[in-house]
Amino acid sequence: MIGRLNHVAIAVKDLAAATAVYRDTLGGRVSDAVPQPDHGVTTVFVELPNTKIELLEPLGEDSPIARFLDRNPDGGIHHLCYEVEDILAARDRLIGEGARVLGGGEPRIGAHGKPVLFLHPKDFCGTLVELEQA
């Protein structure tokens, strides 16, 4: 059901500093910062030959990333994003197998302009999983 790894998301306190590490220290190609108000974050993507790294900075105090950083003050891996061919079919199959879909279960438009869903970390080995329609 899952396809390729689309990205690994890393929560950071300071997006400019994190971007500099990936661009200047590691020599990565990074996108411009883009506010995602529907998700409460500002994102930067680091392009890699086989996937992407998504840097997430809270956009306001109510951001889920702000809460994550409260628990993890140094930041860290927030979620993994896998591509699926049909997000609704994937959702229905996962629910049928007992998985919990967060946020009411309806896809929302993600940072790439495609439908996404998040799956409860307790159902996936302690890892928050994002599914994105390919």
| pLDDT for the residue 89 | 98
Distance CA 101, CA 38 (A): 18
Single out the residue of 50, 46, 37, 49 nearest to residue 15, CA to CA: 46
| pLDDT for the residue 116 | 98
**Average pLDDT along the chain:** 96
Per cent of the chain over pLDDT 70 is 100
Alpha helices, DSSP H, located in the chain: 15-20, 64-71, 87-96
pLDDT tens-place string over residues 66-75: 999 999 999 9
List residues with catalytic annotation.
Answer: 130
**Domain segments of the chain as ranges:** 5-133
pLDDT tens-place string over residues 45-55: 999 999 999 99
pLDDT tens-place string over residues 83-132: 999 999 999 999 999 999 999 999 999 999 999 999 999 999 999 999 99
CATH class of the structural domain 5-133: alpha beta
pLDDT tens-place string over residues 10-54: 999 999 999 999 999 999 999 999 999 999 999 999 999 999 999
How far, in whole angstroms, is CA 79 from its chain's centroid?
Answer: 5
What is the model's pTM? 0.94
Burial classification of residue 23, based on how many CB atoms lie within 10 Å of its CB (0-12 exposed, 13-18 middle, 19 or more buried):
middle
Per the structure block, which two tokens stand in for 109? Answer: 């438009």
Which string of b and e fits 53-81 if b means at least 16 CB within 10 Å? bbbbbbbeeebbbbebbeeeeebeebbbb
Do residues 129 and 90 lie in contact, with contact meaning Cβ atoms separated by under 8 Å? no
| pLDDT for the residue 50 | 95
